[in-house]
Structure 1
Amino acid sequence: MAGAIAVALGLRQIRYFIAIADAGVLSRAAETLNIAQSALSHHVAALETDLGVKLLERRPRGIALTAAGRRLYEHASAVLSALGKAEEDVRTFNEAAAGPVCLGLSHTGISLVALDLMKAVRTNAQGVYLTIVEALSPALTERVLSGTVDLALAYNPPRDARLDVELLLEEDLYLVGHPGLIGRSAGPIAFSAIPQRSVLGLTPMPASRAIIQTQVLRNQVIPSDTLEVDSLPALRMALEAGLGCAILSRATVLADLAAEKYHARRIIDPPLTRSLGLIALADRPQTKAFLEVRKTVIEVVRAAVSDKRWPATDHGRRRSTRAAKGRRSAKSG
């Protein structure tokens, strides 16, 4: 879709549109682009005519994007980002890996491997400009799909033909909380024994999908009716204060468990697990810098699992949703 937009509209129109949207005022955008405001208005009118939709709303204090304008802005931003990466890749094709790469990490990834990743990239790929962003897994997946993040470590990545997914590890999930709430036993706890109306951090549902993959099981857990926490630091404080319990991997709260701030019991009957995958767009051109960072992420995560610093099991196999789809089509044909 992004490539089709670039061909149909032209890169000049896309750049002009992005400049207008970013400036918020037509005169300011014209000044930035060093063109006449009347010429810029003409380009906007032609763009709206070509697409058959209204992109901008004129307001007393500037302009605002319509719903269609916001959609075009997302695609146009992805086009310019991909073009910039392509130019940098071609320019440095016969050189060492160089250029920008944006990597998304969840809270657990930040605490367990972010420092090792930064050190490894600085040592092994000095020409790479690495940007690290932190977010929940569903948000990271959306940012990869939109093209604003190049690759990300995301839990329970969706089956989506647009994504290339390499599963790296699998974690058992635990019920975490004060012993008085979840029991003092070091042994596992049955799923049916999870204290109802005391579980924090299960909603909103997009976030809970990264915790409990099966919707049927999610629906069997009644969350706290007095407190909802969508922040890991706040959740950790709530657990320490005994305000509730949570379904988490040990890796997420490893330091707090070591400090005995609260207790963890593995969930069984059925056991709950979550998978961590390295995700990227399946059809996006891969620069040398991208490939170098991707290789480094895989090595660092698997080293952390091997060294027992990340309590998980190495998945050890790759699942490319696009390749799997192709294999299924070949068999059916």
Structure 2
Amino acid sequence: MSKTYGYLAIVRSLQLAMEFRQLKYFVRIVELGSVSRAAADLYTAQPALSQQIAKLEDELKVKLLARSARGVVATEAGEVFYRHARAMLRQAELMKSEVQHAGEHPQGIVSVGLPTSAATILAPRLFAEAARQYPDIQLQITESLSGHLQELVVNGRIEMSLLFERVDGAGVVRETRLGTHLEVLPLLTESLILLSCEQPGDALPEEVSIAEAAKRPLILPGKSNITRQIIDEAFEAAGERPLVRAELDSLATIRAVVASGVGSTILSPSIPGGTTGLTVQRIAGAALQRRLSLCTFDIMPLSSAARRIMELIRETALALIAEGAWPGASRIE
């Protein structure tokens, strides 16, 4: 290797290091919502951090960050840059890890998002199977509402997530609520049912009309919840309005309140705690179904470990359905 070639290689290496450092700085500022907190987290002087972001904005000829009441936030252009920056940093990490561990068993941390009801059914078996089949993979599970998990996937905070969508009576998604840049693998559909406090001597019909359900005081998730949106749309399509007594975003708390006799709810049978002690009734004439899909960010590359976990999630979910261990769920053929 000539001295000139060696010198150019060093210069190019330094340029790449600087570019990735800028990406890392920007990503951390967006995630922490503060330049000063990012500087402390990265052990970097705040002026140096601000200078690097200014260079980025100057090179791109666009404003990436703006100040708000919540601190420093990404502009619309900054949000786009953030997603790509996360993907580039992730690609660099994967390249290093997979080159170093080529030929070995899959290993590393795999981050997965699970909606609460799905986590209740899926997580125990998933953890057990992952430990048995892939002992060198560490699962990192984030349990939250489907809408929040979607945001985490699209922003590259987690590698994959199970997400809910509304489907019609035939199990068809008429209008997807999932945003762009998502690879979607449909797994199953779940039916939503009317759940009430079980009273001694009750002889309630197995099915009620949506008009009858509209007369019940309901304890439901908040309006940002996809399940609540499915419920509201089903009632609206039938020309009915649900009688909402309270809104709660904790499924376990909803179940506890319903079990106390305060009201009924409309959820899937996979609700945390199950349906024991509750009266279960189908609601006729309403498209009360949701589809559960496994989603990944199409810009973000997946490690071999993540790909193995994706397949394991699919296999585990379908096995639970086949065993009758996922109540109210049907596999998508």
Fold shared, TM-score > 0.5 on shorter chain = yes
How far apart, in 1, do the equivalents of 2:74 and 2:227 lie?
28
Matched, 1:53 2:63: yes
Matched, 1:92 2:110: no
- Corresponding residue to 1:71 among 75, 79, 93: 79
How far apart, in 2, do the equivalents of 1:279 and 1:304 lie?
19
Unaligned runs of 5+ in 2: 1-15, 166-175
- The answer to whether the Cα contact below 8 Å between 2:185 and 2:294 also exists between their aligned partners in 1 is yes
- The AA in structure 2 aligned to 1:251 is S
The Cα of 1:215 is off from its aligned counterpart by 2.8
Shifted more, 168-177 versus 42-51: the winner is 42-51
- The corresponding residue for 2:5 is none
- The corresponding residue for 1:268 is 284
Residue 279 to residue 37, structure 1, CA distance change in 2 (3 Å): closer
1:283-317 CA-partner distances (Å, limit 9, x unpaired): 43232101110111111111111111112444243
The Cα of 1:94 is off from its aligned counterpart by 2.3
- Corresponding residue to 1:257 among 232, 253, 275: 275
Normalising by structure 2, we get a TM-score of 0.76
Of all paired residues, the percent bearing the same amino acid is: 24
How far apart, in 1, do the equivalents of 2:41 and 2:134 lie?
38
Shifted more, 39-48 versus 266-275: the winner is 39-48
- The AA in structure 2 aligned to 1:100 is I
How far apart, in 1, do the equivalents of 2:54 and 2:150 lie?
34
- The corresponding residue for 1:308 is 324
How far apart, in 2, do the equivalents of 1:77 and 1:177 lie?
45
How far apart, in 1, do the equivalents of 2:188 and 2:28 lie?
42
Residue 25 to residue 123, structure 1, CA distance change in 2 (3 Å): same
- The corresponding residue for 2:144 is 135
How far apart, in 1, do the equivalents of 2:265 and 2:112 lie?
27
Unaligned runs of 5+ in 1: 1-6, 318-333
- The corresponding residue for 2:265 is 246
The Cα of 1:172 is off from its aligned counterpart by 2.1
Structure 1 vs Structure 2 CA RMSD: 3.4
Matched, 1:294 2:310: yes
1:121-150 CA-partner distances (Å, limit 9, x unpaired): 111112212100101112222221221121
Residue 218 to residue 209, structure 1, CA distance change in 2 (3 Å): farther
How far apart, in 2, do the equivalents of 1:200 and 1:27 lie?
40
- The corresponding residue for 2:3 is none
Normalising by structure 1, we get a TM-score of 0.76
Matched, 1:200 2:209: no
SS at match of 1:42: helix
- The answer to whether the Cα contact below 8 Å between 2:220 and 2:244 also exists between their aligned partners in 1 is no
Aligned pairs for 1:37-186 (under 5 A) are 39-50=48-59, 51-53=61-63, 55=65, 64-68=71-75, 71=79, 74-75=82-83, 76-156=85-165, 158=177, 160-178=179-197, 184-186=203-205
1:194-247 CA-partner distances (Å, limit 9, x unpaired): 1336222153144335644x8354565534454211211210111011222111
- The AA in structure 2 aligned to 1:276 is L
